[in-house]
Amino acid sequence: MTEHKTPSGPHTVDLKRLKPYGDIMNDGTIQICFTLPVEASAEAREAAVQIVEKMGLDQIKVATMENVGRGFSMFVIYANVKLTVDFTKIEVVKVEAKTRARDELDEVIKTHIGRKLVILGACTGYDAHTVGIDAIMNMKGFAGDYGLERYQWLDARNLGAQVLNEDLIKLAVSEKADAILVSKVVTQHNIHIRDLKDLITRAKKAGLMERLIFVAGGPRVTHPLALECGFDAGFGVGTKPSDVASYVVEEFLRRRERYDGIPNPLKPAETPKAPAKTKTGTKLTAKPKKRPGGRKLEVKFRKATKKAASPRRKAKK
């Protein structure tokens, strides 16, 4: 059990049986929003309630029912879940990189790499939504965090939207790019997954996988999904430019150490291991005694021999 402080005072949260929070602790209240392909009506409301009931929820409250076009109605519903999760056993595959400030990263590149890292960013395929790649690449950045174009030691190039995978690979080769950032917003029929896998297939044929760093991002992109598609890392909603820049710099240094043997300056120093504790039994050791004359008296121990069992013992056995 852990104590969780809220504006109304301390409450106890059981992390082994975690439930959603609505009005009070552990009430399990959640909000659901969905659309039915029927006009808003009493029958439509009942249909929505039955759907939520079949999801295993109870204490159902329909907060909103609205027509959202001819033949469609939208619902906002509150209900309570009965299930819990063990928060203490949750393990998530995450991007392993410490987020560093822009000035610090510039200094690391200047001191330990000695040249600008070339980063190409694009929305690939027929995806025309550049809001994500613009937030990471453009100088103004996102949420008060400057974009990669503002870094003095990054040669960041925003290629915009609808960049074909074959053109991106050709440009990466000709410009000797160090990293490729791909933003995918359109996800209908999993088109984003097909596009990401196609890019990696082309990169493998061009022999770019060892040195070129591949990063995917978007509202439906997660790190595990990116790994599944063959990318090195994936970033989702809320990612800031410094998160991406920190990962690219760290990954570049890791690969340089792996392939060229140059030590990684950002690698955490290994803490010395404590000497292993050995189980020692009580050992009988005889210290040599001295005779009055100063000569040492050697003490010898005779090896114990196993005694033969007596006939009586044998009989008992």
The span from the CA of 92 to the CA of 243, in Å, is 18
Contact 255, 212 (CB under 8 A): no
Cα(266)–Cα(205) distance, integer angstroms: 31
Q: How far apart are the first and last CA of the chain?
A: 58
Cα gap 265→8, rounded to integer Å: 47
How far is Cα 120 from Cα 123, in angstroms, rounded to an integer? 11
Q: In this structure, what DSSP letter does residue 194 have?
A: H
The one-letter amino acid code at 159 reads: L
Q: Which residues pair with 13 in a beta bridge?
A: 2
Contacts 24+ apart (CB under 8 A), 59-67: 59/29, 63/31, 65/40, 66/40, 67/39, 67/40
Of 61, 94, 110, 140, the active-site residue reads: 140
Is 140 annotated in the active site?
Answer: yes
The H-assigned helical ranges of the chain are 42-54, 102-112, 131-137, 165-174, 191-205, 223-228, 241-260, 311-316
| Cα–Cα distance, 31 to 234 (Å, whole number) | 28
Distance set, CA 229 to CA 65, 172, 219, 255, 281 (Å): 40, 19, 16, 20, 56
Q: Which residues contact 100 (CB under 8 A, 6 or more apart)?
A: 108, 242, 245, 246, 249
Q: Which residues are catalytic?
A: 140
